[in-house]
Amino acid sequence: MLAEALNLVLQPSVLLYIVLGVAGGMCIGCLPGLTTTMGVALVLPLTFGMDATHSILLLIGVYVGAVYGGSISAILLNTPGTPASAATALDGYKMASRGEAGRALGISTTSSFLGGTISCIFLILISPLLAKFALRFSAPEFFMLAVFGLCVISSISGKSMLLGLISGAFGILIATIGIDDITGTLRFTFNNMNLFSGINFIPVMIGLFAMSQAFVGVEDIFKKTAPTRKVTKVFPERSDWGVIIKNSFAFGSLGTFIGSIPGVGADIASFIAYGQAKSMSKHPEKFGTGLPEAISAPEAANNGVTGGALIPMLTLGVPGDAVAAIMIGALTVQGLQPGPLLFQNDGPIVYAIFIGLLIANVCMLVLGLNSVRLFTKVLSVPKSILVPTIFLLCFVGSYALANNIFDVIVMLFFGILGYFFQKIEMSSSPIILGLILGPMAESNFRRALLMGRGDYGTFLSTGICWVFFILIIVSLFLPMLQKKLLKSR
Amino acid sequence: MKKSLLSLLLLSLVTIGASAKDVYPDGPVKIIVPYSAGGGSDSVSRALAEALKPEFPDGIAVENRTGGAGSVGMSYGMHSKANGSIITMVAPELVMLPHTGNGGDIDYKQFIPLAIVNSGYAAITVPSDSPYKTLDDLLKDAKSNNLLFGNSGTGSIWHLAGAGMEQSAGVEFTHVPFKGSSAAVTSLLGHHLDAVSVSYAEVASQVKAGALRTLAVLAPNRLADAPNVPTATELGYDVVIGTWRGYAVPVGTPTATVDFLTKSILKAAETDTFIKFMKNTNNDIEIIDSEGFAKKLKREDDFYKNLISTL
Amino acid sequence: MRKGKLVLAGVFITLSLFIIAFALELPASRKGVPGPGTWPILISLIMLFSAITVAIKSFNDKDKKPLGIAGKEQVRVYLSMISLVIYLIAMTFIGFAVSTFVMLYGFITWFSSYKWYFRVISSFAITAVIYCVFHYVLKVPFRFGVLF
């Protein structure tokens, strides 16, 4: 079986496709507005003419590349290319603006690689086990998971917890616009058809991060900035390796686990990883100033999701996230049926996917480290040209999402709003978190009560619920306890 | 002299107009798909566009305009120029959404239907270790117990399928909406639901793998893929609900263009590559021509109006 | 800073009250399952209480740090915001490529002191690259306006 699979993968053309996929994915990922899902969907029609191995491994290459690529623009320009790297921007950009762009990119690249590789190993060894566990998630568990995720707001609020709470609530409320998932009623749409399916959170993110950052750039456009230190070393220094390895193992596994739960993706994983890294840290107060572990944790987690998301797809035939849903489409076009029968009927292709995923991660590492110098060149482009180009990319990126001018209006609105938020030192990240997790929390809250016939006991009816309940309590009160302890000392 | 000049001018205008009609397609053509790239509607439309290519020398391509359960894209296509340069993919949502108040301004009467190429019918599906062996088992139990019925979203076609089953059997289910069919199927696999009422194509792989069991399909005839599964009508419940994918152009499109498009689509749907693609992706080809499509729209509009008003 | 925080609190207090008023008109709960209005009201209440706390705190705050939204640098930001709104409108009426070129040329002229031909070439090059990549490779349709 393994030999057959190796035969399938180790053809020059297949390897070339993986390399092309990863490179293309990196480009798509680092452009704001072009999400991972969109990148994979764009490549899908090209695969119709290929055989199964070429097709699925090209898509996997794009997937791995795009999830990693988002962090490049997040670190260099404070402009997360995909929602999954919004958490990386928090500390990555701070480190880069200290002149250590090369170090930040090196940490994110190696952590992404290690996280991706670990998830791949989990995928190979214990995917049936994880899949069975993931199936136990129902509405109450999803609700508790969403609430646990929302607790991360306390970690990403920046200077003021209260302002963070307001911005988180604001994000959740924006997400309630549109057709209500449970009853189908229209909420806050004011009869505007563009609002029926809600406000897409990608334009909001582009506005809050990229656009408002460009406005800040306009503010000091005539100021001479300190030249970025020349990137001498792209491979992380020895002092960073301890952090990278520790975080990659912990949060790569966390990412795999989160990815294996159907419907929960890389964006949620990276925020949860950031929050956990902060609450586990010995110096949580330094988060947000450009710490290596704050870059490593979300990056390991979001690439950890890549392998995790394939688990329910390969073992159960249900998509782990939107990207996996497209891959299922790609496999069925080839006449393969993902699911329990795939292992029995088409074993070699399953192993080919495993090997291909490993190779894609190696590709990402090599391409990533080699192009760090190239990417940091962006920082030497004069601001007078860079800022207008970012304006343009924000416009085009938000339009490209659904070919809808309305999304551009949304982006511009949140760009202006985000500029004022920066002025008042209100963190924008909780808005993104609220937008991502708000709908998950609400619909599962109501779905759980619908399935539990109105009994609130349903939220603590299973072991998984209790675990999340304890985690929520711990993550809310641990920081307070730590503060007290520090003070009394 | 003046008169003859004027008539000459008029004549030339008419001939230009006529020749413009004659040479359709005179430029690139777009198929607007109101659902996202990578989904079922998108891939079927892309496969059809591929099969249509020989007839369209300037190219024919798919463009996704998503939002509002399809209403955004359908509205865009409805308001586009009536010259055949934009074809819109339409689905039952065209005649469902207006009755739930979530359709914006879409109206099936503003479209000229060309052809339907594909359809899929609802299937009542339970886990394979469920005590319900037949549809009657399930419905008998539903009389005393409130069963959890998963669907792909409130007001979606598969919710209406569950509601239609409920009505014709005179029982009451608890409808649990999910975001999309696959989330409902996943929940059923985890034994959190009693049954789902999504399309057979979406459960087929699980049924073949022995994880799920389909009790009945809400189709007019037994499905080619599942000849052993009875239809609800056979079992005495008069309910037929399914989705379809059709193509339409805005009202006002020249008749010659409409005829050309209908003919090309019907021809493309019979090419080998398209048939193979549809077979691989578990999509059933069901071809309905322009006339039948128009009748179907009218019939389903009335049907959904009644069904939705009783919810 | 103090004034800014008070304004911010005011805006969010108004927003939350507005949402609560709207949400109260949505259908009520059914069979113990919260209706579509419950969640927005709950979240609005959290926002309302946080905003009120911010207001009270900054009312007593002697923070004299300037907010920095009225300087010369900021006026430049507001002008760029207005230009971008005009660009958006122009794009839908005139066309993507033409208005993008004008937008880029305008901003680069404003922000730099390059020679005119360098500005023309760089604006043209950026427009061309973005147009080609998005239109031909990524198949994004830029079909609006009367011109190109």
CB environment A447-484: b (16+ within 10 A), e (fewer): bbbbbbeeeeebbebbebbeebeebbeebeeebeeeee
* Residue B19 pLDDT class (50, 70, 90 cuts): very low
Contact A398, C88 (CB under 8 A): no
CB-CB under 8 Å, A446 with C33: yes
| Average pLDDT of the residues in A63-76 | 94
Chain A residues with CB under 8 Å of C57 CB are 162
Nearest CA in chain C to A222: C111
Which of C30, C134, C136, C139 to mutate against chain B (most B CBs within 10 Å)?
C139
Which CA distances in Å does B262 have to A486, B51, B64? 76, 14, 21
Chain A touched by B227 (CB under 8 Å): no
Q: Are both B26-119+245-310 and B123-217 of the same fold?
A: yes
CB-CB under 8 Å, C36 with A185: yes
Q: What is the pLDDT, as a whole number, of residue B21?
A: 46
Please report, as a single letter, which amino acid is at residue A418.
Answer: G
CB-CB under 8 Å, B280 with A333: yes
HEC sequence for chain B: CHHHHHHHHHHHHHHHHHHHHHCCCCCCEEEEECCCCCCHHHHHHHHHHHHHHHHCCCCEEEEECCCHHHHHHHHHHHCCCCCCCEEEEECCHHHHHHHHCCCCCCCHHHEEEEEEEEEEEEEEEEECCCCCCCHHHHHHHHHHCCCEEEECCCCCHHHHHHHHHHHHHCCCCEEEECCCHHHHHHHHHCCCCCEECCEHHHHHHHHHCCCEEEEEECCCCCCCCCCCCCECCCCCCCCCCEEEEEEEEECCCCHHHHHHHHHHHHHHCCCHHHHHHHHHCCCEEEEECHHHHHHHHHHHHHHHHHHHHHC
Residue A52 Cα to chain centre, angstroms? 27
Domain extent listing, chain C: 2-60, 72-137
The fraction of chain A above a pLDDT of 70, given in percent, is 98
Nearest CA in chain B to A452: B148
Chain A touched by B230 (CB under 8 Å): no
Q: What is the pLDDT, as a whole number, of residue C78?
A: 96
* Residue A232 pLDDT class (50, 70, 90 cuts): low
Chains within contact range of chain B (3+ C-beta pairs < 8 Å): A, C
Chain A residues with CB under 8 Å of C15 CB are 170, 173
Q: What is the pLDDT, as a whole number, of residue A231?
A: 65
Q: What is the pLDDT, as a whole number, of residue B12?
A: 47
| Average pLDDT of the residues in B273-285 | 88
Which of A403, A406, A409, A449 to mutate against chain B (most B CBs within 10 Å)?
A403
**Residue B61 to chain C, least CA–CA distance (Å):** 9
| Average pLDDT of the residues in A200-207 | 92
Output the CATH code of domain B26-119+245-310.
3.40.190.150
pLDDT one-digit tens code per residue, A362-400:
999 999 999 888 888 888 888 899 999 999 999 999 998
pLDDT one-digit tens code per residue, B171-223:
999 999 998 888 999 999 999 999 999 999 889 889 988 999 999 999 999 99
Residues in contact with C60: Cβ distance below 8 Å, sequence separation at least 6, in sequence order:
none
The fraction of chain C above a pLDDT of 70, given in percent, is 98
Which CA distances in Å does B268 have to B24, B115, B271, B280? 17, 11, 5, 17
Chain A touched by B75 (CB under 8 Å): yes
CB-CB under 8 Å, B148 with A403: no
Q: Which of A392, A406, A447 is nearest to A79 (CA)?
A: A392
| Pick from A121-125, A154-158, A417-421, B266-270: least confident | A154-158
CB-CB under 8 Å, A42 with B65: no
Nearest CA in chain C to A217: C77
Which of B45, B102, B128 to mutate against chain A (most A CBs within 10 Å)?
B102
**Residue C1 to chain B, least CA–CA distance (Å):** 40
| Average pLDDT of the residues in A468-486 | 82
Q: What is the pLDDT, as a whole number, of residue A228?
A: 59
Strand partners, B88: B32, B248
Which class is domain B123-217? alpha beta
Mean of the per-residue pLDDT values for chain C? 90
- Coil, strand or helix: which one is C70? coil
Nearest CA in chain A to C69: A423
CB-CB under 8 Å, A193 with B209: no
pLDDT at A354 over 50: yes
Q: What is the pLDDT, as a whole number, of residue B14?
A: 45
Give chain C's largest Cα–Cα span: 72
Tokens at residue C4, please?
């800014």
**Residue A63 to chain C, least CA–CA distance (Å):** 16
Which of B106, B179, B192 to mutate against chain A (most A CBs within 10 Å)?
B192
Distance CA A282, CA A326 (A): 41
* Residue A216 pLDDT class (50, 70, 90 cuts): very high
Please report, as a single letter, which amino acid is at residue A140.
Answer: P
The fraction of chain C above a pLDDT of 90, given in percent, is 66
Of A338, A340, A402, the CB nearest to B211: A340
Distance CA A395, CA A413 (A): 12
CB-CB under 8 Å, C134 with A396: yes
CB-CB under 8 Å, A176 with C40: yes
Nearest CA in chain A to B211: A340
Which CA distances in Å does A330 have to A46, A240, A273, B38, B281? 10, 40, 31, 9, 9
Q: What is the pLDDT, as a whole number, of residue A489?
A: 62
Mean of the per-residue pLDDT values for chain A? 90
CB-CB under 8 Å, A325 with B182: yes
Distance CA B209, CA A344 (A): 10
Radius of gyration of chain C (CA): 24
Of A162, A391, A455, the CB nearest to C84: A391
Of A136, A332, A451, the CB nearest to B282: A332
pLDDT one-digit tens code per residue, A410-464:
999 999 999 999 988 899 999 999 999 999 999 999 999 999 988 999 999 999 9
Of B36, B46, B206, the CB nearest to A45: B46
Chains within contact range of chain C (3+ C-beta pairs < 8 Å): A, B
CB-CB under 8 Å, C139 with B30: no
Nearest CA in chain B to A319: B182
Pairs of residues, one from chain A and one from chain C, whose beta carbons lie less than 8 Å apart: 154
* Residue A225 pLDDT class (50, 70, 90 cuts): low
Which of A182, A219, A450 to mutate against chain C (most C CBs within 10 Å)?
A219
| Average pLDDT of the residues in B27-49 | 89
| Average pLDDT of the residues in A211-229 | 81
pLDDT at B1 over 60: no
Of C23, C34, C139, the CB nearest to A449: C34
Of A38, A179, A340, the CB nearest to B69: A179
CB-CB under 8 Å, C32 with A218: no
Please report, as a single letter, which amino acid is at residue B230.
Answer: P
Domain extent listing, chain B: 26-119+245-310, 123-217
Please report, as a single letter, which amino acid is at residue A463.
Answer: G
Chain B interface with C: residues with Cβ < 8 Å? 30, 61, 63
